[in-house]
Structure 1
Amino acid sequence: MSTSSRIEWTERTWNPAVGCTKVSAGCKHCYAETLAKRLQAMGLDAYKHGFRLKMLPERLDEPRQRKKPTMYFVNSMSDLFHERITDGFLDSVMGVISDTPQHRYQILTKRHERLGAYFAGRSVPSNVWLGVSVENKRHGVPRIDVLRRIPAKIRFLSCEPLLEDLGSLDLTGIHWVIVGGESGPGARPMQPDWARAIRAQCEAQDATFFFKQWGGWGADGKRRSKKANGRELDGRQWNGMPGPVNL
């Protein structure tokens, strides 16, 4: 269902599919998997089988019912380009997006190969922001090259959870970069210099920088709650959004 979101860079979430499987190091402590188990315990039908992937066609029309222009994060509880989500279902999702130009849709995936293959023969709706997760060099950085070749109006990176120094990044064709540390039990710490290095490269290559959170560890390397850590990097919040966007 469509619900308001606590995610700092969006307004609402829309989940026409739920559930997923792990593909990389960034999936190790998946927040969506943990939440799905809670929702299963609460008896929600969509999570009857926990985090098993499930397409929910009954949810497709939800954005059509909302007239107010809204920023939607699509499939916060799944990965829209999961191999078990059919091309036909993806076509239906894109149809809804095209039919609701008053909204903007943020789509984030770790499955860059499927992303590239799907859009090889299709155009990207003009109100779609396409993004890939970039948690480390091995799994994340190769996704960037695939993303930059897709003619989306906005292309973005989510470096969350940021698990290591990403080194030198080519941000050609990338409009927006989100950085954040990992939250929850077992969270892996993020070093401040990793985030600073990405910020510096954004500034040098004209990409907008957004610092989302420290996660489970503070800038001083001590374990803290997300609330206690805040969202400041070097004494200020970095809430950059690409283009004339007001959230």
Structure 2
Amino acid sequence: MAENTRIEWADHSFNAWIGCTKVSAGCDNCYAERERATRILDVRWGAGQPRHRTAVSTWEIPKRWNAAHATFFATHGRRQRVFCSSLSDVFDNEVPPAWRADLLRLIAQTPDLDWLILTKRIGNARAMLNEAVLEMSSGARTWDAGAWPNLWLGATIVNEIEAERDIPKLLETPAAVKFLSMEPLLGPVDISDFLTPGWPRCETGFVQAARYEHGYCATCAGHVTDPIHQSGMHDVIDWVIAGGESGAGARPMHTHWARSLRDQCANAAVPFLFKQWGEWLPADQADTIQRDAASAAASLSVSGELRLDRDAEIFQKDDAYVLRVGKKVAGRLLDGRVHDGFPVHKERCHRRAVEATARA
């Protein structure tokens, strides 16, 4: 279950285990549950069902990718990105804690790979990362003591409710890069409060009482009210991925939702990647060939109400007229452009720090 991937934002995908439980509206049409590997191995989805750990040989493959770092970097000018896990959730409650510790060991042993861990259970992430690092280091360190520069942490957000509930949890969890996967996007979402451009940060703070009494920092001479001393100012989202749903039962995405996220990111100078329209394509984004390929049509309100009746009396102001054309035909152009934003790694991978953790 490790392979090169066609996912636009990763080079490889890796699954340490298979199986999950649906916990979000975004899970309703879960592609992983329908995957061939899931069916062949007879993995059952749901709470209380055992997860299937992948073969030892699968766990060796990332080490080969890591060994190929120099060649890949010489060709592409960047590090390899690994999506973990596409057929499961690293922070699933059903997963034995020892498996997570084994996964963290593998990540530590492959410091030249950037591991992108995406979860629908971001509320579990911090505690489970601390637990795993404690186990693999025999109690010598925790995740909170220093996030690894080759582990990027992402949360799946599909609507406003999840954004308000889960993005703060992501921001509270240490990670080198914090990102959102807003796919399938099921409604309008305002994430602007979480996209404040990064501020300089004073690491030491008020260490001399005399200076503190006068309201100034002994380290940077900045005032107590300066943004560099506000703990939340550096905890922002580094990257946003957005996309529509594909496959059986796919729900359409409104043009406004995608544009809004694009514009929010642009205003905050946060990289934005538009992955796909999915099964449905708004008519205002379609060319003649795409319109001719439509097998169905509907109207979609800005709030997310889908109406299959195309009667003009039903169509409301700001509705999107959406066409079912299939993922491949729909493509990934938003207003005629490909949006392929990626974050610049804030801290280049410190091999020695990661390897020291692996040896601990």
Pair in the same fold by TM > 0.5: yes
Query: What is aligned with 2:297?
Result: none
Question: What amino acid sits opposite 1:103 in the alignment?
Answer: L
Question: What amino acid sits opposite 1:186 in the alignment?
Answer: G
Q: Which structure would you say has the larger Rg?
A: 2
Secondary structure of the structure 1 residue equivalent to 2:37: helix
| d(CA) in 2 for partners of 1:203, 1:112 | 25
Query: What is aligned with 2:108?
Result: 98
| d(CA) in 2 for partners of 1:104, 1:242 | 12
Contact 2:18 2:38 (C-alpha < 8 Å) held by counterparts: no
Secondary structure of the structure 1 residue equivalent to 2:258: helix
Q: Which runs of 5+ in 1 are unaligned?
A: none
Query: 1:171-182 counterparts in 2 under 5 A?
Result: 171-172=194-195, 173-182=236-245
Shift of 1:181: 0.3
Q: Which runs of 5+ in 2 are unaligned?
A: 70-79, 131-141, 196-235, 284-321, 347-360
Query: What is aligned with 1:65?
Result: 64
Query: 1:18-97 counterparts in 2 under 5 A?
Result: 18-35=18-35, 38-39=36-37, 43=40, 47-51=41-45, 53-56=51-54, 58=56, 59-66=58-65, 67-69=67-69, 70-97=80-107
Contact 2:89 2:118 (C-alpha < 8 Å) held by counterparts: yes
Contact 1:209 1:238 (C-alpha < 8 Å) held by counterparts: yes
Shift of 1:112: 1.3
Please say if 1:125 is aligned against 2:148: yes
Question: What amino acid sits opposite 2:107 in the alignment?
Answer: I
Please say if 1:231 is aligned against 2:332: yes
Please say if 1:145 is aligned against 2:168: yes
| d(CA) in 1 for partners of 2:176, 2:110 | 16
Shift of 1:244: 6.4
Shift of 1:240: 0.6
Contact 1:209 1:240 (C-alpha < 8 Å) held by counterparts: yes
| d(CA) in 1 for partners of 2:59, 2:38 | 21
Contact 2:19 2:43 (C-alpha < 8 Å) held by counterparts: no
| d(CA) in 2 for partners of 1:49, 1:202 | 38
| d(CA) in 1 for partners of 2:182, 2:263 | 14
| d(CA) in 1 for partners of 2:30, 2:85 | 14
What's the TM-score once normalised by structure 2's chain length? 0.63
Secondary structure of the structure 1 residue equivalent to 2:272: strand
Shift of 1:75: 1.1
| d(CA) in 2 for partners of 1:244, 1:116 | 21
Please say if 1:217 is aligned against 2:240: no
More helix by share: 2
Secondary structure of the structure 2 residue equivalent to 1:197: helix
Say how many residue pairs are matched: 239
Please say if 1:109 is aligned against 2:132: no
Contact 1:10 1:72 (C-alpha < 8 Å) held by counterparts: yes
Contact 1:171 1:205 (C-alpha < 8 Å) held by counterparts: no
Query: What is aligned with 2:269?
Result: 206
Sequence identity percentage: 38
- Per the alignment, do residues 182 and 114 of structure 1 end up closer, same or farther by CA in structure 2, a change over 3 Å counting? same
| d(CA) in 1 for partners of 2:106, 2:55 | 11
Shift of 1:92: 1.3
The CA deviation string for residues 88-141 of structure 1, in whole angstroms up to 9 with x for no partner, is: 221111111111111111100000111132245424321011100000122344
- Per the alignment, do residues 75 and 3 of structure 1 end up closer, same or farther by CA in structure 2, a change over 3 Å counting? same
| d(CA) in 2 for partners of 1:141, 1:133 | 12
| d(CA) in 2 for partners of 1:174, 1:235 | 26
Question: What amino acid sits opposite 1:49 in the alignment?
Answer: V
Tell me how large the CA RMSD over aligned residues is.
1.9
